[in-house]
Amino acid sequence: MGPPVLPLDVERLARGVRDGDRTMLSRAITLVESKRADHRRNAAALTQALLPATGNAVRVGITGTPGVGKSTTIDALGTLLVREGRKVAVLAVDPSSRRTGGSILADKTRMARLANDASAFIRPSPASGTLGGVAAKTRETMLVCEAAGFDVVLVETIGVGQSEVAVADMTDFFLVLVLPGAGDELQALKKGVVELADMIAVNKADGDNVARARAAAAEYSAALHILSPRSPQWSPPVITYSALTGDGIGTLWAHILDHRRRLTAAGELKVRRGEQQVKWMWTMLEERLFAPLRSERVLKAALPRIEADVAAGRLAPAAAVEEIAKMLGR
């Protein structure tokens, strides 16, 4: 049996993406992000067609508390990589919200050098939606960017809470950015985020901050020693750097490449990506199954009453589930 015959527009999109056409790339991502049923089917056909051209990029997740300098770091790192002849895509994961959506778009202005480089591509996440839905769309966008020839994909977490886990689940390397003055910062960082880290990088190690940055790095190193690393092949390092001056950015990238070499040699990278793909499938299915709860007017209107009845003890949770399932036709 031969490959499936694609709709003409999808075939043209796939060809344009593989050829590196920016207009086609943007259209493909818009299609992937669409919630329309016909667009969803075409998006699935598109990503299937592009699949053989994906998987070759270095996928890096980046997180950090507000004010840590994520955008400046991405700008500095991306600029270094572009100079080395790489093509860099920057994606954002935000469960969010029209309320915070503007801040993502503003990243283009904070990544001034990268935003104007022909070898770079910056794409904000969808303006709203559940975290699972947005994360799934970001994963699809990552595949489209890889098919377009981008060999480094930087995925930035904008939101809070589970967005860090979502980003760690779609990337090969999870980078946690922190500030000097580790005492308070260490308390603010959730233990779960530190456990996910493949490296902790202390930013703003410049001028009078150098000694404080080194002291912070020592505290983080001590904290990491009591946690089990994600991989037996890798002990997460703690480094200092300055996104402002560029000092330490080369070292940061060297650690990412070293991590990739080790996990690839052990066969762990392939296994991890396979597990991520399966998890991605279930996330998208879950999103699809829950979509009617947010879109069907009758059901949407009934949910507050059902929730209130359950909360007040008038309706058993099991009976409530049966009522909702009946309304969904299941």
**pLDDT (tens digit, 9 = 90+) per residue, 65-90?**
778 889 899 999 999 999 999 999 99
pLDDT at 276 over 80: yes
Instruction: Render 246-302 in DSSP notation, one character per residue.
Output: -TTHHHHHHHHHHHHHHHHHTTHHHHHHHHHHHHHHHHHHHHHHHHHHHH-HHHHHH
User: Rounded to an integer, what distance in angstroms lies between the CA atom of residue 154 and that of residue 156?
Assistant: 6
Q: Which residues pair with 123 in a beta bridge?
A: 91
**H helix or E strand, kind and range, residue 238:** strand 238-240
36 in the same domain as 66: no
> Which of these ranges, 105-114, 127-136, 285-294, has the smallest mean pLDDT?
105-114
Say if 275 falls within a structural domain: no
Mean pLDDT for all residues in the chain: 85
Structure tokens at 91: 């994606």
Say if 295 falls within a structural domain: yes
44 in the same domain as 58: no
63 in the same domain as 142: yes
pLDDT at 27 over 90: yes
| pLDDT tens profile 163-204 | 888 899 999 999 999 888 755 555 556 667 878 899 999 998
117 in the same domain as 142: yes
Output the pTM of the full model.
0.86
Average pLDDT over residues 241-251: 94
- Across 23-27, 102-106, 254-258, the highest mean pLDDT is recorded for 254-258
323 in the same domain as 305: yes
Say if 100 falls within a structural domain: yes
Say if 225 falls within a structural domain: yes
Percent share of the chain, pLDDT over 90? 50
Which of 64, 92, 84 lies closest to 178, judged by CA?
A: 64
Q: Which are the contacts of 232, defined by CB distance < 8 A and separation ≥ 6?
A: none
Q: What CATH number is attached to the domain comprising 69?
A: 3.40.50.300
319 in the same domain as 179: no
* Number of domains into which the chain is organized: 3
pLDDT at 158 over 80: no
217 in the same domain as 110: yes
Q: Which are the contacts of 290, defined by CB distance < 8 A and separation ≥ 6?
A: 130
pLDDT at 56 over 70: yes
User: End of a domain among 226, 243, 266?
Assistant: 266
21 in the same domain as 160: no
Say if 63 falls within a structural domain: yes
Say if 271 falls within a structural domain: no
User: End of a domain among 266, 294, 319?
Assistant: 266
| pLDDT tens profile 250-273 | 999 999 999 999 999 999 999 999
Average pLDDT over residues 141-160: 91
> Which of these ranges, 134-148, 187-201, 281-295, 310-324, has the smallest mean pLDDT?
187-201
196 in the same domain as 78: yes
Say if 316 falls within a structural domain: yes
Q: What CATH number is attached to the domain comprising 3?
A: 1.20.5.170
216 in the same domain as 144: yes
20 in the same domain as 156: no
pLDDT at 95 over 70: no
Q: 289: domain range?
A: 281-327
27, 31, 34, 41 from 38: Cα distances, Å:
15, 10, 9, 5
- Side-by-side strand order, sheet with 238-240: 120-123, 88-93, 152-157, 58-64, 173-178, 199-202, 238-240
**Given this model, what pLDDT does residue 287 score?**
80
Confidence of residue 98 (pLDDT cuts 50, 70, 90): very low
**Given this model, what pLDDT does residue 100 score?**
44
pLDDT at 108 over 60: no
User: Rounded to an integer, what distance in angstroms lies between the CA atom of residue 260 and that of residue 172?
Assistant: 8
Say if 213 falls within a structural domain: yes
Residue appearing with tokens 């985020």: 193
225 in the same domain as 76: yes
Confidence of residue 113 (pLDDT cuts 50, 70, 90): confident
**Given this model, what pLDDT does residue 173 score?**
97
User: Rounded to an integer, what distance in angstroms lies between the CA atom of residue 201 and that of residue 179?
Assistant: 8
User: Rounded to an integer, what distance in angstroms lies between the CA atom of residue 249 and that of residue 201?
Assistant: 10
